[in-house]
């Protein structure tokens, strides 16, 4: 059996794979046209993935190394009866920490101070009246899955009121309140922070559009750690330009890398990070642990142990 490794595997983890009988690890450089048809498992994805899926005759299971799987052709996987798993669960803590950093950067005047630092400017008197503590501020979090819950948990520790938005509106741990995604405009008007962590589906594409931003009161900070295409970028830029939003912290974008000529780069109230919110040094090891578990379970039972994606729902 052949495992195509499209995400880096450490030597230590390669040794763990070597203990599985009859399994050969194929690296992208070793792929021949013949071998491409004989891949059983794929770890990761990238440019070569779709070609292998197209030509595969025995592909059984793909272990993605991301939580979102919107970049896969899910219909094609369903049709070819290929199982897909994500690595949901490992991003919760790093993304929650990143969101807290964004929030505190704005409330504590640090984002503005760093801008002033680039001009060697001491702006204490200007900043002091604008900064605040987090207690009793309000965050609306779109997406109440594992990552959304970890974000809400951290915010609650700082006495922030947390409102979750999802499709069913049922109570979820760490949220003071949960509302359905068609009842949100009243809720967001009263929010201080609007945080997106929804998966990208046809329902969430351009969810944050002109209509959404127009409903805001102007003091809100918008944070996107979900998926770039959930936001209509032009509408976001328009909202920032017209003070419908006080600021934004963005880790994901409709087009990545964010084009060098995007006006977002130079907007004073925008904080840009390059799709790193879920990263941490041990990411490779934790993602590999999920691959290993799913691989061993599949070889025994033909099923996945963890994180199988519902190909119809898209997450």
Applying CB under 8 A, the residues found at the interface with a second copy are 93-94, 97-98, 100-102, 104-105, 107-111, 113-114, 116-118, 120, 122-124, 127-135, 157-158, 256-258, 260-262, 265-266, 271-277, 279-281, 283
Nearer to a second copy, 14 or 276 (CB): 276
Q: At what angle do helices 11-18 and 283-301 cross, to 10 degrees?
A: 10
User: Is residue 227 flagged as an active site residue?
Assistant: yes
Cβ contact 273:250 at 8 Å:
yes
Among the listed residues 8, 54, 256, 282, the single catalytic one is: 256
Q: Which is nearer to a second copy, 79 or 133 (CB)?
A: 133
Q: 């919110």: which residue's tokens?
A: 277
Which residue, 107 or 166, is less far from a second copy as judged by CB? 107
Q: How far is the CB of 161 from a second copy (least distance, A)?
A: 16
Shortest distance, CB of residue 13 to a second copy, whole angstroms? 16
Active site residue 256: yes
The catalytic position among 97, 206, 275, 286 is: 275
User: Which stretches of the chain are DSSP H helices?
Assistant: 11-18, 33-36, 49-55, 74-79, 92-107, 110-117, 124-127, 146-157, 185-189, 210-214, 233-241, 283-301
CB of 213 to a second copy, least distance (A): 22
Q: Give min distance, CB of 166 to a second copy, in A.
A: 25
Name 272's bridge partners: 250
- Between 49 and 278, name the residue whose CB sits nearer to a second copy: 278
Longest dimension (CA), the chain: 69
Per the listing, tokens 């920032």 go with 240
Residue whose C-alpha is closest to residue 253's, from 230, 276, 269, 271: 230
Query: Is residue 254 annotated as part of the catalytic site, yes or no?
Result: no
Catalytic positions are 227, 256, 275
């Amino acid at each position: 059996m052949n495992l195509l490794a499209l995400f880096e595997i450490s030597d230590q983890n390669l040794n763990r794979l070597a203990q599985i009988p009859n399994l050969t690890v194929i690296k992208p450089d070793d792929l021949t046209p013949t071998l491409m048809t004989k891949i059983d498992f794929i770890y990761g994805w990238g440019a070569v993935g779709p070609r292998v899926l197209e030509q595969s005759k025995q592909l059984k299971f793909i272990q993605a190394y991301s939580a979102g799987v919107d970049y896969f052709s899910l219909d094609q996987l369903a049709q070819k009866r290929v199982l897909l798993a994500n690595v949901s669960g490992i991003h919760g803590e790093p993304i929650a920490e990143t969101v807290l950093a964004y929030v505190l950067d704005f409330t504590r005047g640090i984002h503005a101070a760093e801008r002033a630092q680039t001009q060697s400017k001491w702006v204490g008197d200007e900043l002091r009246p604008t900064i605040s503590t987090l207690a009793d501020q309000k965050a609306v979090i779109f997406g109440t899955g594992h990552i959304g819950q970890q974000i809400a948990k951290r915010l609650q520790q700082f006495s922030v009121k947390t409102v979750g938005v999802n499709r069913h509106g049922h109570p979820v741990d760490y949220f003071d309140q949960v509302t359905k995604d068609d009842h949100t405009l009243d809720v967001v008007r009263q929010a201080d922070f609007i945080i997106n962590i929804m998966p990208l589906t046809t329902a969430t594409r351009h969810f944050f559009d002109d209509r959404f931003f127009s409903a805001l009161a102007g003091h809100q900070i918008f944070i996107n750690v979900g998926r770039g295409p959930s936001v209509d970028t032009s509408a976001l830029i328009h909202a920032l330009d017209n003070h419908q939003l006080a600021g934004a912290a963005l880790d994901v974008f409709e087009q990545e890398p964010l084009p060098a000529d995007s006006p977002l780069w130079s907007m004073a109230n925008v904080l840009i990070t390059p799709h790193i919110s879920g990263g941490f040094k041990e990411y490779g090891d934790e993602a590999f642990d999920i691959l290993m578990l799913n691989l061993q379970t599949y070889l025994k039972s033909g099923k996945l142990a963890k994180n199988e994606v519902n190909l119809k729902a898209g997450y």
